[in-house]
């Protein structure tokens, strides 16, 4: 919960809309999937940089509920990339003290991907240096609608009184129940939209729109986004001191 005061200059939780893979590839005459592949390299770089920059939680928008409308070949290419990342990087994530969690509706995902997700969550559960939250088949509105359904079912069954539904109860019914709200949302590629990401959770977040396409987002670009955050004054609706 916001405490009304200015927070420390480094965000604890950074959430990223990794945009621009397709344009990065098109600019080089490459297939879109090559952009996503290079995007996975950028994920590795940013995960590695987080502990050095004091970031404790990193949330990545890897696949939105809207991404199903892309061509089947691009969807299956992205799924192959997720499989590869989860298989190949799990041991390194454990070694680096990274805890991985997933948010989003897993039901429509292939059973082997769901099993890999569960396995990586179980393997990395002891990670204490950084928590990486990967949003796959995630949509902010779907998250909110699901929370409403869960709370409504509790009320209907008599387990909860309708009057008990406050902001804390609602937040606890979201996919992100045990993750603090993001302090900073970064979107790459110069686009300035939230695109149905963390709609509830980003209520008090700062936004930084980085000009780089996601595959070009390196340690320096990350440092620039963090320093833009550090230069802002967060008031959470209160007056400046
Ligand atoms: C947006 O770029 C990016 C995506 C929809 C996919 C993000 C996925 C990755 C970076 C792959 C690896 C992820 C993990 C977690 C290993 P876009 O295709 O919308 O780009 P465009 O707007 O230029 O077309």
* Residue closest to 32 by CA, chosen among 23, 41, 19: 23
Q: What is the pLDDT of residues 19-64, one digit of tens each?
A: 999 999 999 999 999 999 999 999 999 999 999 999 999 999 999 9
Check pocket membership of 116 for ligand 1, CB cut-off 6 A: no
Assess if residue 5 is contained within a domain. no
Residue 7 confidence class, pLDDT cut points 50, 70, 90: low
Q: By the 8 A CB rule, do 212 and 188 touch?
A: yes
Average pLDDT across the chain, whole number: 95
Q: What's the CA-to-centroid distance between 238 and ligand 1, angstroms?
A: 36
For the chain, the DSSP string reads: ---SS---SS-SEEEEE---HHHHHHHTT--HHHHHHHHHHHHHHHHHHHHHHT--EEEEEEEEGGGGGS-HHHHHHHHHHHHHHHHHHHHHHHHTTEEEEEES--TTS-HHHHHHHHHHHHHTTT--SEEEEEEEEE-HHHHHHHHHHHHHHHHHTTSS-GGG--HHHHHHTSTTTTSPPPSEEEE-TT----TTSSTTTTTT-EEEE--S-GGG--HHHHHHHHHHHHTS---TTS---
Assess if residue 198 is contained within a domain. yes
Whether the per-residue pLDDT at 97 is higher than 90: the answer is: yes
Check pocket membership of 130 for ligand 1, CB cut-off 6 A: no
Q: What is the pLDDT of residues 12-21, one digit of tens each?
A: 999 999 999 9
Say what the pLDDT of residue 1 is.
47
**CA dist 48 → 52, 55, 85, 202, 216 (Å):** 8, 11, 14, 24, 15
Q: What is the mean pLDDT of residues 136-153?
A: 98
Q: What is the pLDDT of residues 188-230, one digit of tens each?
A: 999 999 999 999 999 999 999 999 999 999 999 999 999 999 9
Domain that holds residue 44: 13-230
Q: What percent of the chain lies above the pLDDT cut of 70?
A: 96
Q: Which of 27, 36, 193 to mutate to test the pocket of ligand 1 (most atoms within 8 A of CB)?
A: 36
Assess if residue 241 is contained within a domain. no
Q: What percent of the chain lies above the pLDDT cut of 90?
A: 92
Q: What is the mean pLDDT of residues 112-129?
A: 98
Say what the pLDDT of residue 151 is.
98
Check pocket membership of 104 for ligand 1, CB cut-off 6 A: no
Say what the pLDDT of residue 239 is.
78
Say what the pLDDT of residue 4 is.
45
Assess if residue 128 is contained within a domain. yes
Per the annotation, the verdict on 67 as an active-site residue is yes
Question: Left, alpha or beta for 63 (phi > 0: left; psi -120 to 50: alpha)?
Answer: beta
User: What tokens appear for 209 in the block?
Assistant: 């729109």
CATH code, domain with 102: 3.40.1180.10
Count of domains observed in the chain? 1
Assess if residue 172 is contained within a domain. yes
Assess if residue 7 is contained within a domain. no
Assess if residue 1 is contained within a domain. no
Assess if residue 151 is contained within a domain. yes
Q: What is the pLDDT of residues 58-87, one digit of tens each?
A: 999 999 999 999 999 999 999 999 999 999
């Amino acid at each position: 919960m916001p405490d009304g005061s200015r927070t420390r200059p480094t965000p604890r939780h950074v959430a990223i809309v990794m945009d621009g893979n397709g344009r990065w590839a098109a600019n080089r005459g490459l297939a879109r999937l090559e952009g996503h592949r290079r995007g996975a390299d950028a994920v590795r770089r940013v995960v590695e940089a987080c502990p050095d920059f004091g970031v404790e939680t990193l949330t990545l928008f890897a696949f939105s509920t809207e991404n199903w409308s892309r061509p089947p070949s691009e969807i299956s290419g992205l799924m192959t990339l997720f499989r590869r990342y989860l298989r190949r990087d799990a041991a390194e994530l454990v070694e680096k003290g990274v805890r991985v969690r997933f948010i989003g509706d897993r039901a429509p995902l292939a059973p082997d991907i769901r099993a890999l997700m569960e396995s990586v969550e179980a393997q990395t559960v002891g990670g204490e240096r950084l928590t990486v939250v990967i949003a796959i088949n995630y949509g902010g509105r779907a998250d909110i609608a699901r929370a409403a359904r869960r709370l409504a079912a509790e009320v209907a069954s008599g387990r909860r009184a309708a009057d008990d539904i406050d902001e804390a109860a609602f937040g606890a019914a979201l996919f992100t129940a045990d993750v603090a709200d993001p302090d900073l949302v970064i979107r790459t590629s110069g686009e300035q939209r939230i695109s149905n990401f963390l709609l509830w959770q980003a209520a008090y977040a700062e936004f930084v729109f980085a000009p780089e396409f996601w595959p070009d987002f390196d340690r320096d670009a990350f440092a620039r986004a963090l320093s833009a955050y550090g230069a802002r004054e967060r008031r959470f609706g209160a007056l400046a001191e």
